[in-house]
């Protein structure tokens, strides 16, 4: 281990079992900085658990135990990082952690089984994990809370096996095993009655796919018939790039807002909406600057540092939290500083890659492994290529179309639906813009929208001379393809097709089958 960017012999940190042999040595300055951030995460956890109702929730909800692995997740996403890159990672991940802790705190405060705060409950709008929370951008007095995000989505990021139990539950109830594990696991949590009970109403969406519709069907039945929480189905058009569907999409936004007003008594506040829209615009401008840097020889905000933060910033935040706008500024400053000094994240850059498809959730730190092990630089990924539109900051009619646009462009569905132009053609366009010589194509085996185009991806990559590496996985289920199974697909391509040796050979095969 050393000060060298990308570190040395990082594989030696691993040992069979849940935790690592020891923490990484990054030179005195960076190790000390990293340690202070580790203390901060422990502080967030301690502040959360000190409340008796949160301890009660730990014992009531099986998925809560995944949060014990939170510091471990941070370590995975900062492997080999030094200087500005380490600071960018912590600015993002620490903030996301704080936001999740606050979400959980509010959820348990309102939960009828735990805190049962009736006053808060009347202000809670349950938000589907798979939607942009734009319909909350004009309700400053309400709280949009998600149950699926902390129980399933974040759970798998923390502990690779987090969703397995719920997948078994839903399949015992007759769901076929080829349904996407994301909606399947969410339905499993509902069937097992492991969701907190709260909310004045709920907004569900038809994003992203047939599997997602199935999952929401199961969840909404329990919400409406058993918990007494009315649900609105916010339906986004599939062909979302066509002009003739936009009026319908805007009307859906009007209907959703009206539904929330009717069930909470709150009134839509345009001033607050435009304040949030301004912050979304600031985030979009910052992200565009990062992507522009990534098109040069000195990319700065990419891989792990781009993916998860972008998802959170657009989907869950949508301009509602000022701290994210502040973090965007800080990240941009760090990136500019590193760019001016022509810094690099690892010592050797061998391939410039675009990462496409829906990524494996139990192996989100795969991007950092690519750069540390093989010198493959993941310049951007499909889920980070989200909205580039600047929202109106004063026109109310246009704002409804902007909200509809954001909802239609929900991360993941904006490319898995909408035709081959958004999924295929734009990939090759990005390869050109970013001067990429490689595409890492996640093949999530239960995502029919993507799998149907396998042959067309291959044909075009061959025609354009792009190195295409397929990486098969099953999204939330590491029992089907393990982390090493994911890595082996890249290892084989690099050795057998490109005849290359890894930059850090200790990372090629890792004993992390059981690790958090």
* Burial class of residue 445, CB neighbours in 10 A (0-12, 13-18, 19+): middle
Q: How far is the CB of 207 from ligand SF4 (least distance, A)?
A: 8
- HSE at residue 368, side-chain half, CA atoms within 13 A, is 27
How far apart are the C-alpha atoms of 112 and 108, rounded to whole Å?
8
Size of the site for ligand SF4 (CB under 6 A): 15
Please, which residue, 320 or 473, has the CB nearer to ligand SF4?
A: 473
Q: What is the closest distance, in whole angstroms, from the C-beta atom of residue 318 to ligand SF4 in the complex?
A: 20
Number of Cβ within 10 Å of residue 351's Cβ equals: 20
Q: How far is the CB of 173 from ligand SF4 (least distance, A)?
A: 19
**3 state DSSP class of 290:** helix
Stretch that binds ligand SF4, among 105-113, 203-211, 336-344, 402-410 (CB under 6 A): 203-211
Question: How far apart (Å, rounded) are the C-alpha atoms in residues 353 and 376?
Answer: 7
Q: How far apart are CA 33 and CA 89, in angstroms?
A: 12
Residue 481 found at the interface with ligand SF4 (CB under 6 A): no
Q: How far is the CB of 210 from ligand SF4 (least distance, A)?
A: 7
Binding segment (CB under 6 A) for ligand SF4, from list 92-100, 158-166, 207-215, 465-473:
207-215
CB of 100 to ligand SF4, least distance (A): 21
Pick the closer one to ligand SF4 by CB: 317 or 475: 475
Whether residue 395 is preceded by a cis peptide bond, meaning omega within 30 degrees of 0, is no
**Beta bridge partners of residue 355, listed in sequence order:** 381, 440
C-alpha distance from residue 359 to each of 222, 231, 233, 437 (Å): 30, 29, 26, 20
Q: Residue 278 belongs to what H/E stretch? A: helix 270-294
| Cβ distance to ligand SF4 smaller for residue 358 or 379 | 358
Find the part of the chain contacting ligand SF4 (CB under 6 A) among 119-127, 209-217, 251-259, 461-469: 209-217
211 is a site residue for ligand SF4 (CB under 6 A): yes
212 counts as binding ligand SF4 under rule CB under 6 A = yes
Minimum distance between the CB of residue 443 and ligand SF4, rounded to whole angstroms? 11
Q: What tokens appear for 2 in the block?
A: 């050393």
Q: Name the burial class of residue 184, with classes exposed (0-12), middle (13-18) and buried (19+) by CB atoms within 10 angstroms of its CB.
A: buried
Choice between 383 and 399, CB closer to ligand SF4: 383
Residue 416 binds ligand SF4, judged by CB under 6 A:
yes
Residue choice 444, 460, 473, 483 for contact with ligand SF4 (CB under 6 A)? 444
CA 436 to chain CA centroid, nearest Å: 23
Q: How far is the CB of 208 from ligand SF4 (least distance, A)?
A: 4
SS3 assignment for 4-59: CCCCCCHHHHCCCCCCCCCCCCCCHHHHHHHHHHHHHHHHHHHHHHCCHHHHHHHH
What is the number of other CB atoms lying within 10 angstroms of the CB of residue 177? 13
Restricted to residues 456-475, the positions that interact with ligand SF4 (CB under 6 A) are 475
Of 358, 391, 466, 471, the one binding ligand SF4 by CB under 6 A: 358
Nearer to ligand SF4, 200 or 406 (CB): 406
Instruction: Give the pair of three-digit tokens for residue 203.
Output: 């907004």
Tell me whether strands 124-127 and 201-205 are parallel, antiparallel or unpaired. Answer: parallel
Choices 18-26, 82-90, 272-280, 441-449; region in contact with ligand SF4 by CB under 6 A: 441-449
Q: Which residue, 54 or 312, has its beta carbon nearer to ligand SF4?
A: 312
Q: Is 208 in the site for ligand SF4 (CB under 6 A)?
A: yes
Strand bridging mode 231-234 / 201-205: parallel
Minimum gap (Å) between residue 37 Cβ and ligand SF4? 31
**Contact map string, positions 180 to 199, toward ligand SF4, x by CB under 6 A:** x-xx----------------
467-494 as b/e: b if 16+ CB within 10 A:
bbbbbbbbbbbbeebbbbbbbebbbebb
Among 447, 469, 503, 507, binds ligand SF4 (CB under 6 A): 447
- Of 22-30, 179-187, 269-277, 476-484, which segment contacts ligand SF4 by CB under 6 A? 179-187
- Which residues face 234 on adjacent strands? 205
Site stretch for ligand SF4 (CB under 6 A), options 204-212, 222-230, 236-244, 477-485? 204-212
Question: Toward ligand SF4, which CB reaches closer, 81 or 234?
Answer: 234
Region near ligand SF4 per CB under 6 A, out of 63-71, 315-323, 422-430, 444-452: 444-452
- Measured from the CB atom, the residue of 69 and 382 that comes closer to ligand SF4 is 382
Sign of CA dihedral 428, 433, 437, 443: negative
Return the range that interacts with ligand SF4 (CB under 6 A); candidates 93-101, 205-213, 377-385, 490-498: 205-213
CB nearer ligand SF4, residue 212 or residue 310: 212
Least distance in angstroms from the C-beta of 444 to ligand SF4: 5
**Helix residue spans in 111-231 (DSSP H):** 118-121, 148, 154-158, 164-172, 181-191, 210-221
Contact (Cβ atoms closer than 8 angstroms) between residue 391 and residue 281 = yes
Q: Under the rule (CB under 6 A), what is the footprint of ligand SF4?
A: 180, 182-183, 208-209, 211-212, 358, 412, 416, 444, 446-447, 449, 475
């Amino acid at each position: 281990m050393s000060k060298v960017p990308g570190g040395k012999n990082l594989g030696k940190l691993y040992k069979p079992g849940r935790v690592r042999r020891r923490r990484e040595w990054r030179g005195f300055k960076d190790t000390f900085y990293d340690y202070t951030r580790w203390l901060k995460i422990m502080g967030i956890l301690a502040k959360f658990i000190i409340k008796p109702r949160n301890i009660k929730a730990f014992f009531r909800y099986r998925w809560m135990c995944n949060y014990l692995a939170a510091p471990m997740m941070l370590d995975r996403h900062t492997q080999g990082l030094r200087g500005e890159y380490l600071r960018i990672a912590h600015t993002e991940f620490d903030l996301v952690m704080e936001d999740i802790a606050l979400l959980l705190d509010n959820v348990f405060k309102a939960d009828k089984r735990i805190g049962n705060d009736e006053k808060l409950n009347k202000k809670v709008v349950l938000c589907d994990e798979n939607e942009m929370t734009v319909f909350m951008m004009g309700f400053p007095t309400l709280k949009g809370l998600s149950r699926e995000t902390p129980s399933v989505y974040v759970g798998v990021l923390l502990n690779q096996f987090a969703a397995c139990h719920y997948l078994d539950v839903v399949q015992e109830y007759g769901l076929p095993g080829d349904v996407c594990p994301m909606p399947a696991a969410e339905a499993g949590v509902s069937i097992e009655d492991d969701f907190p009970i709260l909310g004045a109403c709920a907004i569900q969406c038809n994003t992203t796919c047939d599997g997602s519709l199935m999952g929401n069907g199961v969840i909404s039945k329990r919400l409406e018939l058993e918990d007494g929480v009315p649900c609105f189905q916010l339906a986004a058009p599939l062909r979302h790039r066509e002009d003739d569907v936009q009026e319908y999409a805007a009307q859906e936004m009007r209907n959703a807002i009206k539904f929330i007003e009717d069930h909470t008594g709150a009134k839509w506040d345009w001033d607050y909406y435009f304040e949030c829209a301004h912050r979304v615009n600031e985030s979009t401008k910052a992200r565009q600057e990062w992507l522009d840097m990534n098109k040069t020889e000195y990319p700065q905000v990419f891989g792990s540092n781009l993916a998860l933060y972008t998802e959170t910033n657009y989907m869950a935040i949508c301009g509602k939290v000022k701290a994210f706008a502040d973090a965007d500024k800080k990240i941009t400053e760090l990136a500019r500083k590193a760019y001016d000094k022509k810094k690099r994240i690892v010592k050797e850059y061998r391939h410039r890659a675009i990462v496409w498809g829906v990524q494996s959730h139990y192996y989100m730190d795969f991007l950092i492994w690519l750069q540390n092990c093989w010198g493959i630089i993941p310049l951007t990924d499909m889920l980070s290529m989200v909205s580039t539109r600047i929202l109106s900051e004063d026109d109310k009619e246009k704002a409804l179309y902007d909200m509809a646009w954001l909802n239609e462009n929900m991360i993941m569905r904006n490319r898995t639906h909408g035709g081959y132009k958004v999924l295929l053609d734009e990939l090759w366009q990005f390869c050109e813009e970013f001067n990429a010589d490689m595409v890492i194509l996640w093949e999530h085996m239960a995502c029919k929208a993507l799998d149907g185009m396998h042959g067309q991806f291959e044909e075009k990559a061959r025609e354009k001379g792009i190195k295409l590496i397929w990486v098969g996985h099953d999204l939330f289920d590491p029992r089907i393809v393990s982390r090493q199974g994911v890595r082996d697909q890249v290892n084989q391509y690099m050795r057998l097709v490109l005849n290359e040796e890894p930059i850090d050979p200790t990372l090629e095969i890792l004993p992390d089958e059981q690790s958090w």
